[in-house]
């Protein structure tokens, strides 16, 4: 299995990991998996319910287990949750088992895309925009350090972003395997 067999999408909530991931998987003929959806499927409850019952630490423990299992597969595109990079165990398996793609978007775009979404426990606050800004401040250095490829999603159609990732992946592969 080559590292480039798998693509792992990281980035803040609202960056487009699920939407772009589906298109990317189709372009590359790979299976698409969303880590959050997989957690919901396995537990039989929503992410907000897990947060209510187990808190963020309980959710993060489930996330570590699911990401470890999923990343052992090959030929996949995995959309991780925005906070998956907070745990060292996740960073390690993502870095070693595939190409990590950071989907970056500015604060205004992230807020606009998430402001009506009630399925995001960390944004159920009086100041969701301020919360996104705080999460970005904490997590962006980790996203940048972990990423093999960085792509801005901004005001672009998901199909355009997916094609951009395919192009950057080819450049990455030729850089990683200059003889091949």
Q: What is the pLDDT of residue 11?
A: 94
Q: Which residue has the higher pLDDT, 67 or 107?
A: 67
Q: Could you read off the pLDDT of 127-138 as tens digits, one per residue?
A: 778 888 888 999
Checking if the pLDDT of 46 tops 70, the result is yes
Rounded to whole angstroms, how far apart are CA atoms 13 and 9? 11
- The CA–CA distances, whole Å, from 139 to 103, 145, 177 equal 13, 10, 30
CATH class of segment(s) 3-175: alpha beta
Per domain, the residue ranges of the chain are: 3-175
The mean of the pLDDT values for the chain is 89
Whether the model pTM is above 0.95: no
What local confidence, expressed as pLDDT, does residue 110 receive? 83
Contact 41, 10 (CB under 8 A): no
Using the predicted structure, report yes or no on whether residue 125 has a pLDDT greater than 80: no
pLDDT tens for residues 87-97? 999 999 999 99
């Amino acid at each position: 299995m080559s590292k480039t067999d798998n693509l792992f999408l990281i980035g803040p909530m609202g960056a487009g990991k699920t939407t772009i991931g589906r298109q990317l998987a189709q372009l590359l003929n790979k299976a698409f998996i969303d880590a959050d959806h997989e957690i919901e499927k396995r537990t039989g409850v929503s992410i907000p319910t897990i947060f209510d019952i187990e808190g963020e630490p309980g959710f993060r423990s489930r996330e570590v287990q699911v990401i470890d299992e999923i990343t052992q597969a090959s030929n996949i595109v995995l959309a991780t949750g925005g906070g998956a990079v907070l745990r060292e165990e996740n960073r390690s398996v993502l870095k070693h088992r595939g190409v990590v793609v950071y989907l970056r978007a500015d604060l205004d775009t992230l807020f606009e895309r998430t402001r009506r979404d009630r399925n995001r426990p960390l944004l159920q606050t009086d100041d969701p925009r301020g919360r996104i800004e705080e999460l970005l401040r904490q997590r962006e250095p980790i996203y940048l350090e972990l990423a093999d490829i960085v792509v801005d999603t901004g005001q672009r159609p998901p199909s355009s972003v997916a094609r951009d990732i395919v192009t950057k992946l080819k450049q990455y592969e030729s850089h990683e395997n200059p003889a091949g």
